[in-house]
Amino acid sequence: MTYAFKYLITPAYLCCIVFSSTGRPVWADDTAPGNCDPAQPGMAALARHPEIYNIHFENDLFNGTDQGYTNGVKLSWVSANLKDYIHDPCLPLWVRRLNQLFESLHRTGYSSRNMVVTIGQSMYTPLDKTRTDVIPNDRPYAGWLYLGLGYNERDAKQMDTVQVNIGMVGPASLARQTQNFIHDLRDIPRFNGWDNQLHDELGIQIIAARRKKVWGSDSNGWPQFDAITHYGGSLGNVATYLNTGFEIRAGEHLPNDFGTSPIRSAGDSNAPLEDAAARRFAAGGWHVFISADARVVAHDIFLDGNTFVASHSVDKEILVGNVAAGVAWQWRGGQITYAQYVSSKEFTTQTSNPGYGAITLSLEY
């Protein structure tokens, strides 16, 4: 089994570098009113407005297994409301310059928007950890270490998200070292076949999604209900697919967001708000939820193997899906969520339906 602590260390360290190395940025000449005082630009100015820091941890240890999609961790920073992604003085100059590269992905027509910066690592292993050879009928060993830039724009009922993930698949993902460290620390036998993992490959993934609140109860107390649909897709050498699904929530003081997303969905749903100074987690409460997602998969590097060189691969299933059930507890300024996911078989020779548990801690400052 794997363990959360180490899986959080490396991404957390890198994430701190990304968020703290802002120096003394220069801001654009455009000083139209935004959420930050132009006299105090940069990340420090954003500290006066509600931002969210998320820690996502997914592992099949919650399902009593140690194979398949065996571990995922993601750290993300969700900004306060922004005037835009290129001129807002809340963002340091280097971030705004980076956003210019993806200006064609920015949506227009919404008054509320924020930016999401993520860093994550995922790993995949076959069922038999003792074998050192390639296992033809089981999935390849693989890891994925990535940096993501996401753009959320919304109104009261709908949110559009575009996310760009750039990273490395293969030994450069450090998946082998991360898993070995934890297995040694906990005196668990190592997986012996990592020499057969996918080769190093630069991975690029562009993900787009639309979430929409299609129904909600009028009650401000308990119980409250809402229903959220989503659809979208991914394009890139890491994954190419179309997907759709829904989530239904019931509880007290439902958060003003667009549901609960696993690591592998598009972006974080801690959405921007109409009121720049408002809080997404404004009051204590709790809720339960169920969700489902279905996707048509054209390409999955973790099953199809490397794009440009020969590698181990298996015959993937074209139509896959998952269902989830979970519970969330919310207090003023934060939320913790647990969900259990069960997926359909992802490749033709897979012997059982994979599953994993997911914990998300969200803190608002």
Q: What is the pLDDT of residues 75-99, one digit of tens each?
A: 998 888 888 888 887 787 888 888 8
Average pLDDT over residues 234-250: 96
Examine residue 190 and state whether it is found in any structural domain, yes or no: yes
CA 279, CA 218: separation in Å to the nearest integer?
A: 20
CA distance linking residue 351 with residue 74, whole number of Å: 28
In a domain, 31, yes or no: no
The string of DSSP letters for 134-161 reads --TTSPPPEEEEEEEEEEEEE-SSEEEE
- Section 277-290 average pLDDT: 77
Domain with residue 157: its CATH number is 2.40.128.140
Please tell me the pTM assigned to this model: 0.83
Backbone angles phi, psi at 256, to 5 degrees: -85, 65
For residue 32, being part of any structural domain is answered with: no
Predicted confidence (pLDDT) per residue in 185-196, tens digit: 888 889 999 999
User: What's the rounded Cα separation, in Å, for the pair 340 and 64?
Assistant: 12
Residue 29: inside a domain, yes or no?
no
Question: Which domain covers residue 151, as residue numbers?
Answer: 4-22+38-364
Decide if 173 is inside a domain.
Answer: yes
Structural domain count of the chain: 1
Considering the domain boundaries, does residue 294 fall inside one? yes
Tokens for 276, please give them: 């720049």
pLDDT (mean) for 308-335: 94
Domain assignment of residue 312, yes or no: yes
pLDDT in tens, 345-354: 999 999 999 9
Q: Where are the alpha helices (DSSP H) in 21-157?
A: 43-46, 93-100
Task: Output the pLDDT for position 198.
Answer: 98
Q: How far apart are CA 335 and CA 340, in angstroms?
A: 17
Q: Which two tokens stand for residue 207?
A: 């993900």
Does residue 168 lie in a domain region? yes
User: Is residue 273 a contact partner of residue 155, using CB atoms and an 8 Å limit?
Assistant: no
Confidence of residue 265 (pLDDT cuts 50, 70, 90): low
pLDDT digits 0-9 by tens, 112-168: 888 888 999 999 999 999 999 999 999 999 999 999 998 988 888 899 999 999 999
* Average pLDDT for 277-285: 68
270 falls in which pLDDT band (50, 70, 90)? low
